[in-house]
Amino acid sequence: MIELSHIGKVYGGAARVEALKDISLSVKEGEIYGIIGQSGAGKSTLIRCINMLEAPTSGTVTVNGVELTKLKDKELREECKNIGMIFQHFNLLSSRTVYENVAFPLELQGYSKKEIKERILPILDIVKLSNRLDNYPSQLSGGQKQRVGIARALATNPKVLLCDEATSALDPQTTQSILDLLKDVNKKMGLTIVIITHEMQVVKDICDHVAVIEGGKIIEQGRVVDVFTNPKEQTTREFVGSVISHDLPDEVKAHMDLHDAWDEGTKPVVRLAFMGGSTKEPVIAGVIRRFGIEVTILFGGVDFIQEASFGHLIIALDGEKEQVRKALTYLEELQIRSEVIGYATI
Ligand SMILES: Nc1ncnc2c1ncn2[C@@H]1O[C@H](COP(=O)(O)OP(=O)(O)O)[C@@H](O)[C@H]1O
Ligand SMILES: [Mg+2]
């Protein structure tokens, strides 16, 4: 549905900024795709390239089978009616009521008053604002304002919805209700959604795929479950760590002296990750039985990513070095993720 191919963006002027570097990504129809990065990473620039609010300096943007980067103004405006957008600060017109804000894009497209009414009343119902039609933005809460933003974006019946930090100005509870609403319209209307955020919780709650952007580059991308269970880059680990405890908590770490090398008197500390139905009992028992070594459980827990559950366990292996080595090889060969995170003197 959305294909970005080798996108580059350089902001000109005296202070030349290379905001995007060789970005390629592909979003399938009906998917919710998250793009996460720190402030200044290039997220807004990237999402604005999808609807050509910002023209990329190089590369191609294809949405719904049409290459937007080669269209002229008029054709481009026509194609971009298929792409709605919502913003962190809502961007509502303060002198217009809820109804008039949502009607605005349709007025611009020349729809009659009757057509507008027929189209937007059901949408205002979906976003639960039917009883607020005559309110002005200043009379609404943040969550309600974003609901107006969503209704306005949906009014033109787009195929794609772009969300630039749409929940970043909202409290956690309101964020949840907006995410539920986005998930709802994604399911009911088959809308493809791209979400830009700096909050991993947003990705964890509703995205199918995620790309991590840093310094204008995508450093990691994949299915949300894969990235969460097996983050490869340090930045990704930090984002994942903000919602899921992948590493040993500092309190546990403080009690051991973690080395990078398997020095004399240290024991390997291994992180195991299990998807879905957990098999950790037989794994641990198997290691003990097969290799005659001791296993100490240091930390563990179960997390949920949308419907999928995954458990993680951090263990230390102790025993004769050769047997411990064999146990590590055995763990590597199993259908679970295992990784030595250091060597501790516990
Ligand atoms: N209109 C602009 N002119 C010049 N530089 C810009 C402009 N917009 C963004 N930038 C720069 O591009 C980089 C990426 O910005 P942005 O896409 O807004 O990041 P994010 O949304 O991830 O915070 C930053 O270094 C920012 O200063
Ligand atoms: Mg931004």
For 93-146, the pLDDT digits (tens) are: 999 999 999 999 999 999 999 999 999 999 999 999 999 999 999 999 999 999
> Same domain, yes or no, for 220 and 261?
no
> Same domain, yes or no, for 283 and 315?
yes
How many Å lie between the centroid of ligand 1 and the Cα of residue 13? 13
Geometric angle at alpha carbon 16, from 10 and 17, rounded to 5°: 55
The 10s digit of each residue's pLDDT in 176-218 is: 999 999 999 999 999 999 999 999 999 999 999 999 999 999 9
Identify the pLDDT of residue 214.
97
> Same domain, yes or no, for 21 and 116?
yes
The 10s digit of each residue's pLDDT in 295-319 is: 999 888 888 887 777 788 889 999 9
Buried b (16+ CB within 10 A) or exposed e, 174-205: bbbebbebbbebbeebebbbbbbbebbbbbbb
Domain that holds residue 147: 2-241
> Same domain, yes or no, for 259 and 223?
no
Spatial distance between the Cα atoms of 268 and 262, rounded to a whole number of angstroms = 7
Identify the pLDDT of residue 281.
60
Smallest Cα–Cα separation from 83: which of 159, 10, 6, 173?
159
Percent of the chain at pLDDT > 70 equals 97
Mutate to test the pocket of ligand 1, among 7, 11, 39, 50 (most ligand atoms within 8 A of CB): 11
How many Å lie between the centroid of ligand 1 and the Cα of residue 104? 28
Q: Is the dihedral of CA 140, 142, 144, 150 positive or negative?
A: positive
Percent of the chain at pLDDT > 90 equals 74
**Domain final residue, candidates 221, 241, 261:** 241
The helix (H) or strand (E) run that includes residue 240 is helix 234-241
> Same domain, yes or no, for 216 and 328?
no
> Same domain, yes or no, for 230 and 258?
no
Spatial distance between the Cα atoms of 110 and 108, rounded to a whole number of angstroms = 5
> Same domain, yes or no, for 38 and 148?
yes
**Domain final residue, candidates 199, 220, 241:** 241
Spatial distance between the Cα atoms of 120 and 103, rounded to a whole number of angstroms = 7
Identify the pLDDT of residue 317.
95
Using the structure block, give the residue that is written with the tokens 């002296």. 257
> Same domain, yes or no, for 229 and 254?
no
Q: Is 216 exposed, middle or buried (0-12, 13-18, 19+ CB in 10 A)?
A: buried
Identify the pLDDT of residue 280.
56
> Same domain, yes or no, for 294 and 199?
no
Average pLDDT, stretch 142-151?
A: 96
User: What CATH number did the domain enclosing 179 receive?
Assistant: 3.40.50.300
Query: Which phi and psi angles does 191 have, rounded to 5°?
Result: -75, 135
The helix (H) or strand (E) run that includes residue 122 is helix 113-126
How many Å lie between the centroid of ligand 2 and the Cα of residue 6? 20
Question: Is residue 315 classed as helix, strand or coil in its secondary structure?
Answer: strand
**Protein residues near ligand 2, an ion, with CB under 5 A:** 43-44
> Same domain, yes or no, for 38 and 112?
yes
Identify the pLDDT of residue 276.
65
The 10s digit of each residue's pLDDT in 287-298 is: 999 999 999 998
Q: Is residue 42 in contact with ligand 1, taking CB distance under 6 Å?
A: yes
Contact (Cβ atoms closer than 8 angstroms) between residue 317 and residue 284: no
Smallest Cα–Cα separation from 50: which of 29, 69, 75, 71?
69
User: What CATH number did the domain enclosing 340 receive?
Assistant: 3.30.70.260
Q: Is residue 17 in contact with ligand 1, taking CB distance under 6 Å?
A: yes
Strand segments (E) across 206-336: 209-214, 217-223, 257-259, 267-275, 294-305, 308-318
> Same domain, yes or no, for 97 and 141?
yes
Cβ neighbours of residue 12 closer than 8 Å, sequence gap 6 or more: none
The 10s digit of each residue's pLDDT in 209-265 is: 999 999 999 999 999 988 988 889 999 988 988 887 666 778 878 888 888 999 998
> Same domain, yes or no, for 65 and 185?
yes
pTM beyond 0.85, yes or no:
no
Spatial distance between the Cα atoms of 301 and 199, rounded to a whole number of angstroms = 22
Q: Is residue 40 in contact with ligand 1, taking CB distance under 6 Å?
A: yes
Q: Which of 310-314, 328-332, 342-346 comes out lowest in average pLDDT?
A: 310-314
The structure tokens listed for 297 are: 């459980």
Buried b (16+ CB within 10 A) or exposed e, 82-120: bbbbbbbebebeeeebbbbbbbbbbeeeebeeeebeebb
- Give the number of domains in the chain: 2
How many Å lie between the centroid of ligand 1 and the Cα of residue 78? 27
Spatial distance between the Cα atoms of 283 and 196, rounded to a whole number of angstroms = 39
Using the structure block, give the residue that is written with the tokens 């902001």. 11
**Domain final residue, candidates 213, 241, 269:** 241
Smallest Cα–Cα separation from 295: which of 334, 268, 335, 264?
268
Contact (Cβ atoms closer than 8 angstroms) between residue 133 and residue 98: yes
Q: Give nearest CA residue, ligand 1 atom 26.
A: 40
Contact (Cβ atoms closer than 8 angstroms) between residue 124 and residue 178: no
Cβ neighbours of residue 129 closer than 8 Å, sequence gap 6 or more: 98, 144, 147, 148, 151
C-beta atoms surrounding 259 within 10 Å:
14
Mean pLDDT estimate for the chain: 91
